[in-house]
Structure 1
């Protein structure tokens, strides 16, 4: 699978560890920055990475900032992105099973590398549930996106 990573200075160290883990799992990994722990603006990295996932240039994204919420706020403004914040493996499992999320957001200031590794492993290896009730619920969320967000092919860049 092709995975794009992004974040800010608060997620830089954890992002390096997650990149190594994903590579060891056999995934192709693109680090979209930042490339140091020097202070940066989160949107400068998460926004282009979100676009890359929405355009299907990457299968999934993993974004790491201080607590994860900033990345999710940015990513979820893009049509075709379903970003979740997970702080434990149980949430990661449900985020994939129930929502088929394509972006995982982690908080480099609130979770350590061991739990982050378990979250990533769980999220990467869990398939979405295909029972009718989950498909129906996910389709309702997609309809909300269609009503309130513009598909990328309607936007000039």
Structure 2
């Protein structure tokens, strides 16, 4: 699977750890940066990475910043991106099963490397539930998205 990754200065170290994990799992990673720990603007990196997911160039995205919420706020502005902030494997499992999220946001100031690894492994290996009630709920969210967000070209 091709994964878009992005981060800010607070997430550089953890992003590199997660990137290695993903590559070890056999995934291709498209890294949108940043590549150092110099102060930067998160949107400069998350926005193009989220576009890559929305346009289908990447199947999923994993974004790392200080707490995860900044990445999710930016990513969820893009039509077709469904970003979830997860701080433990249980949340990661539900984010995939119940919402079919295609972007995972994690906070390097909130969780440690081992927890990040478990979250990523869980999120990457969990499928969306296909029971009617879950597909109906996911479709309602997609309908809201399509009604209010500009289509990506």
Name the TM-score, length of structure 1 as normaliser: 0.96
Q: Partner of 2:92 in structure 1?
A: 92
How many angstroms apart in 2 are the aligned matches of 1:127 and 1:146? 23
Q: After superposition, what is the alpha-carbon deviation per residue over 1:72-91, rounded to whole angstroms, capped at 9, x for unaligned?
A: 00000000000000000000
Gaps of 5+ in 2: none
| 1:11 maps to 2:11 | yes
Which structure 1 residue ranges, 4+ long, deviate > 3 Å from structure 2?
none
* Correspondence 1:1-157 to 2 at 5 A: 1-153=1-153
Tell me the CA shift for residue 7 of structure 1: 1.1
Q: After superposition, what is the alpha-carbon deviation per residue over 1:45-81, rounded to whole angstroms, capped at 9, x for unaligned?
A: 0000000000000010000000000000000000000
Tell me the CA shift for residue 133 of structure 1: 0.1
Tell me the CA shift for residue 146 of structure 1: 1.3
Corresponding residue SS for 2:30:
strand
Name the TM-score, length of structure 2 as normaliser: 0.99
Gaps of 5+ in 1: none
Corresponding residue SS for 1:80:
coil
